[in-house]
Amino acid sequence: MKKYENGKLIKVVCNQCGKEIKTETEMIKEGICSVETDWGYFSDKDGESHKFDLCEECYDLLTRNFLVPVEISRRTELL
Ligand SMILES: [Zn+2]
């Protein structure tokens, strides 16, 4: 969960474990998985937008149980 105050990012918390993610002058300074999804007509959540953030440990815990592994590719340009 990202918390903003006057349009500025002030806090990022992992939705799963509650850990506070390191930020420095609005920059996220550690690994984070940010999910944003817009549910559509064929779901039970039509019209709802959901978002959450996971710390790297919680991301690893979640994806470790996937029957089909996460698809990994390498980006050529890193920010
Ligand atoms: Zn976490």
CA of 57 to the centre of ligand 1 (A): 6
pTM comes to 0.86
Angle, vertex CA 14, rays to CA 33 and CA 76, nearest 5: 20
Q: Ligand 1 center to residue 68 CA distance, Å?
A: 22
| C-alpha 48 – ligand 1 centre gap (Å) | 24
Q: Give the Å distance between the CA of 32 and the centre of ligand 1.
A: 9
**The pair of three-digit structure tokens given for residue 11, joined into one six-digit string:** 């806090």
Q: What is the pLDDT of residues 17-73, one digit of tens each?
A: 999 999 999 999 999 999 999 999 999 999 999 999 999 999 999 999 999 999 999
Of the pLDDT bands very low, low, confident and very high (cuts 50, 70, 90), residue 79 is low
Sign for the pseudo-dihedral over CA of 18, 8, 38, 55: negative
**How many angstroms does the Cα of residue 49 sit away from the middle of ligand 1?**
21
For residue 76, name the pLDDT band (cuts at 50, 70, 90): confident
